[in-house]
Amino acid sequence: MGRLRTVFRALGCALLTVTATAAPPQHWDILGVGGGGAMFSPSFSPHNPGELYVACDMTELFHTTNLGEQWEMVDYRELQGNRGSKVHFTTDANVLYTLDYTTVAGEDLVRPSKSTDGGATWTPLAADPTFGEVFYLEADPGSTQRLFVTSYTTLYYSGDGGATFNARFTSNVSGAGLHVGGAFWDGANIYVGTNAGLLVSANGGDSFAVDGTTGIPSGYEIVRFSGAKENTTTRLWALLTDDGIYSGIQPEDLFWPVQRVFTLDSGASSWVERGTGLPTTNGNSLAFIATAHNDIDIAWASGQFSNEHPALFKYTEGSNWEQSLLSIDNENAITGWAGDGGDRGWSYGAGTVGLGVAPNNADYVAFTDYGFVHLTTDGGANWRQAYTSRAHENPANADTPQGSPYASAGLENTSCWNLTWSDADNIWASMTDIRGIRTTDGGATWSFNYSGHNQNTSYDCVRHPSTGTLYMATSTVHDIYQTTYLTDSRIDGGDGRVLSSTDGGLSWNQVHDFNHPVIDLELHPTNSEVMYASVIHSSEGGIYRTGNLSAGSGAIWTKLAEPPRTEGHPFNIKVLADGTLVATYCGRRTSSFTQSSGVFVSTNDGASWIDRSHANMTYYVKDIVIDPHDVTENTWYVGVWSGWGGPLATNNQAGGLYRTTDRGQNWERIFETHRVSHCAVSPVDPDVLYVTTETDGLWYTENLSDSTPMFADVASFPFRQPERIFFSPFDNNEVWVTTFGHGIQRGTMSGGGMIPESWIAY
């Protein structure tokens, strides 16, 4: 596919160059098995019985209007989610509130945000009294104007839709701040369950005071709170614990102490305990209490059993609490790939970390855990999965089968590092936490139909060009070289192996156990017996080589010399056609970054190394890419992340994409942003390149050969952290993107793309 250049002169302007080529995809298919990562804060709409939001700690805010048959994600440019991003509905279906966790200028913020168009767009509230440090937000479902947010210690109320806020209560709980377990709004009466007690406003939010009603046992605090009203009776529900509550406490911190449930009816003189039927032994604990707003007779509680299955209980007036989800043998649960007997058991998702009840229908309930979303629409008589395509779900009251294929429903929140094609239909996806998945139909469905690989993560997989054998790098440590996995304490204790498969990934056999994480593999282009492995450990890590690969488990591996400055954190290893080795070493932190990162070259098969690092590369280098159109292999691209702290200013200002045309002797930064992970040059157009970033999404240029390429955001790509880009070896118009937290996405480039006018230099 060639490039069409039309050169013309406009009156009063310099020469223009307008470029036509294949345009970035306008639509991305979401691929995978669904779920697999932690999800939080399910929230039903009172306006549409099928509408539900779910938040994720990988920045997504997921949205469905058909009870999980299909999910979409709020574009990261509008809002980024996390644990506390519960969507609060109001009387107007267009007016919503939640918390936005978007990183701004490198600073992690938590800001109250508002939508006035049903969630299509979101705007942070300019009057945020916490200045980006909100702990809790609650909004009145009976209004569009009333809400409150809290800082660590103080509740701020707004009666004008967030235009202004006023401080209304400050906690005096020493050192614990103000924990908010929930709120119930009833006209002028506002009830807030906190660790300071039940806060009550009887004047529409003008003031709040701790209610003095007796009945809550001494030493106990409210950790979760809900309320309902029927006719003239208001019933408040409180989940209590004596374990010590603090602002920002997480659900999983509640799984081990024993909790108690109490209620308070309007006009009553004392709280009443309602715990009959709930678990009362250590390890069988609750984390949530929830109700519909219009039903005082039904309540829901959830947590975790000692076998790490989710615990779901339902209370009905006149009866005791009864277990609702019967997870043993999937008795009343339609499952996806996780369930009793499945590719993962119920304990993979473990206890509930989110519980939501429809505000106007107590029969509609959803819970989330560390991997999945499940829901009921018949009051808990039956439950079903809501994270993978319903066409591939498994019947209740039967073991979940292993190795079955699944198709994505859009709820993808896992991390994928690499894609490896055995042929057009058979692809291996190297994944975090869920180990890896494979497809045998070109990506339509994916499965765990393989054996021999049981470590947490596969990072890389390469196909031997002559034998077709797949070789895979694995680790028990996930997310290596993300910002939270740079220290020895996080990595050194991990295990890692090289595995091989001769049947397209169906079965794997151990080639070598390095006893340390393995993150990258590289085959020699001219010697079929030689392979290199990047092994991570602060003292024993480095690049290892075998010269008898075909010996399998009998292959001998030798550690190469350590490049200068490095401290055991190798990343990419490349072998050029002339035998030159090129390696990147990634970041390492103690109290700050050490200068052990960079780009290194060896012309003697690793006996010694030359440091070819730009000054900005000594702290935090990611991928190196060799330009496939440069037959001399002199042109390289390197992604660099900005760090934080450290002795040199360049540590914090280093991020971007760097290019060399002389094998690293000289570098130029051609794309400047906070952090760049990877890039890929089109195999058919040397001027087209895609770039991935940590927080700024996917970028693209169509004039790579220019001295100063112009880049544009790929507006159709909705997720903030793509990881790597792959052009399908069987269709060069297909762009596959792996992500840190949103699975795999596939797009097809369309013809006739034009560089945006904003790129054109006059």
| Joined tokens for residue 690 | 């895609």
- Provide the 3-class DSSP secondary structure of residue 727: strand
Q: Which of 50-59, 91-100, 170-179, 713-722 has the lowest mean pLDDT?
A: 170-179
pLDDT tens digits for 707-719?
A: 999 999 999 999 9
What per-residue confidence (pLDDT) applies to 8? 25
At residue 418 the predicted structure's pLDDT band, cuts being 50, 70 and 90, is very high
Query: What's the mean pLDDT in 441-462?
Result: 98
Query: What's the mean pLDDT in 558-570?
Result: 98
Q: At residue 630, does pLDDT exceed 90?
A: yes
What per-residue confidence (pLDDT) applies to 7? 27
Q: Which fold has domain 36-392?
A: Methylamine Dehydrogenase; Chain H (2.130.10)
d(CA 443, CA 426) in angstroms, rounded, equals 8
pLDDT tens digits for 105-114?
A: 778 999 999 9
Query: What sign for the dihedral angle of Cα 271, 273, 274, 275?
Result: positive
Percent of the chain with pLDDT over 90: 90
Q: What kind and span of H or E run contains 748?
A: strand 744-748
DSSP 491: H
What per-residue confidence (pLDDT) applies to 499? 98
What per-residue confidence (pLDDT) applies to 174? 85
CA distances from 266 to 185, 227, 271, 296 (A): 13, 11, 10, 11
Q: At residue 58, does pLDDT exceed 90?
A: yes
DSSP per-residue codes, 603-643:
SSTTSS-EE---GGGSS-EEEEEE-TT-TT---EEEEEB--
At residue 758 the predicted structure's pLDDT band, cuts being 50, 70 and 90, is very low
- Asked if domains 36-392 and 416-753 share a fold, the reply is yes
Q: What kind and span of H or E run contains 582?
A: strand 581-585
CA distances from 152 to 86, 106, 136, 172, 176 (A): 18, 22, 9, 11, 8
- In this structure, the number of other CB atoms found within 10 A of the CB of residue 746 comes to 19
Query: Which has the closest alpha carbon to 114: 129, 99, 102?
Result: 99
Q: At residue 762, does pLDDT exceed 50?
A: no
d(CA 667, CA 614) in angstroms, rounded, equals 6
What per-residue confidence (pLDDT) applies to 646? 75
Q: At residue 639, does pLDDT exceed 50?
A: yes
Give the E-state strand segments of 377-506 in sequence order: 383-385, 416-421, 427-431, 436-439, 457-463, 470-475, 497-501
Percent of the chain with pLDDT over 70: 96
Query: Which has the closest alpha carbon to 423: 498, 499, 505, 500?
Result: 505
DSSP 392: G
Query: What's the mean pLDDT in 293-303?
Result: 98
Query: What's the mean pLDDT in 598-613?
Result: 98
Q: Which residues are CB-neighbours of 11 under 8 A, at least 6 positions away?
A: none
At residue 724 the predicted structure's pLDDT band, cuts being 50, 70 and 90, is very high
Q: What is the mean pLDDT of the chain?
A: 94
What per-residue confidence (pLDDT) applies to 307? 94
d(CA 470, CA 478) in angstroms, rounded, equals 21
Asked if 639 and 690 count as a contact pair (C-beta separation under 8 A), the reply is no
Q: At residue 9, does pLDDT exceed 70?
A: no
pLDDT tens digits for 211-251?
A: 999 999 999 999 999 999 999 999 999 999 998 899 999 99
Say yes or no: domain 416-753 is CATH 3.30.160.20.
no
Q: At residue 257, does pLDDT exceed 90?
A: no
d(CA 190, CA 660) in angstroms, rounded, equals 63
Query: Which has the closest alpha carbon to 544: 508, 568, 525?
Result: 568
Query: What's the mean pLDDT in 467-483?
Result: 98
Q: Within 13 A of 371's CA, how many CA atoms are on the CB side?
A: 24
What per-residue confidence (pLDDT) applies to 751? 67
Q: At residue 20, does pLDDT exceed 60?
A: no
pLDDT tens digits for 510-552?
A: 999 999 999 999 999 999 999 999 999 999 999 999 999 999 9
What per-residue confidence (pLDDT) applies to 255? 86
Residue where the block lists tokens 């709930």: 278
pLDDT tens digits for 170-219?
A: 998 889 999 999 999 999 999 999 999 999 999 999 999 999 999 999 99
Full strand arrangement of the beta sheet holding 15-23: 4-9, 15-23, 750-754
What per-residue confidence (pLDDT) applies to 21? 62
**Domain segments of the chain: what residues?**
36-392, 416-753
